[in-house]
Amino acid sequence: MFRYYARLFLKYDMRILPVAVLSHGIKKEEPRSFEITFPFHKVLHFNFLQLHLKRRNWREYLKNDNPAAAALMSCMDYKEEEKGQLKLEFFKIIPRLELDPARIQLLIGFFESYVKLTPSEEKLFQQKLIEELPLEEVKKVTEILTSYHLRGREEGRAEGREEGREKRRS
């Protein structure tokens, strides 16, 4: 953390508030400072703030229309049985953000890399999405999900074609 801070300070020559965003799944306390000392002299004592995501409850961020907060909800504390509800609430936030499709796909990709639903959970999620969102928002979210999945499918096909070509060359 100190190295990042020092590089930014040297580059921009301005005050910087150092904040570490911890996304790992461990809730234990992490160091909040860095020191360089000798038995006879303290050279440096560097402190930084922390945002430890697993210590935050995702429900605290539901009213926040910030794309970063929406995506980071996937790294926050939730019970296994809350995964479907978490994803539902995330997709309720998406239309309010009014982002372009590329940014929406980036957020969804980030979110879904951390929150993986089983096929039965996914089916329940889709049913609840239709029940709880207004029809216009359901259409928007469905278009987003469809284009996201189609893009992923196309990328998978392209990778498969490339692997096939490589095998034929060998």
Give the start-to-end residue ranges of the domains of the chain: 2-53, 57-169
Mean pLDDT, residues 63-70 taken together? 90
Cβ atoms of 141 and 130 closer than 8 Å: no
Residue labelled with tokens 């994803």: 87
Average pLDDT, the chain: 87
Cβ atoms of 51 and 22 closer than 8 Å: yes
Least confident of 17-26, 78-87, 148-157: 148-157
Cβ atoms of 98 and 116 closer than 8 Å: no
Q: Virtual CA dihedral for 65, 70, 72, 73, nearest 10 degrees?
A: 110
Mean pLDDT, residues 77-85 taken together? 91
Parallel, antiparallel, or unpaired for β 19-22 and 49-52?
A: parallel
Cβ atoms of 105 and 148 closer than 8 Å: yes
Strands (E), the chain: 19-22, 33-38, 41-47, 49-52
Q: What is the pLDDT of residues 98-137, one digit of tens each?
A: 888 888 888 988 998 899 999 999 889 888 988 888 887 7
Task: Give pLDDT, residue 147.
Answer: 62
Please state the φ and ψ torsions of residue 61, each to the nearest 5 degrees: -110, 10
* Element counts in the chain: helices (H) and strands (E): 6, 4
Mean pLDDT, residues 85-91 taken together? 92
CA distance 99 to 110: 15
Task: Give pLDDT, residue 149.
Answer: 60
What's at 101, amino acid-wise?
P
Cβ atoms of 19 and 50 closer than 8 Å: yes
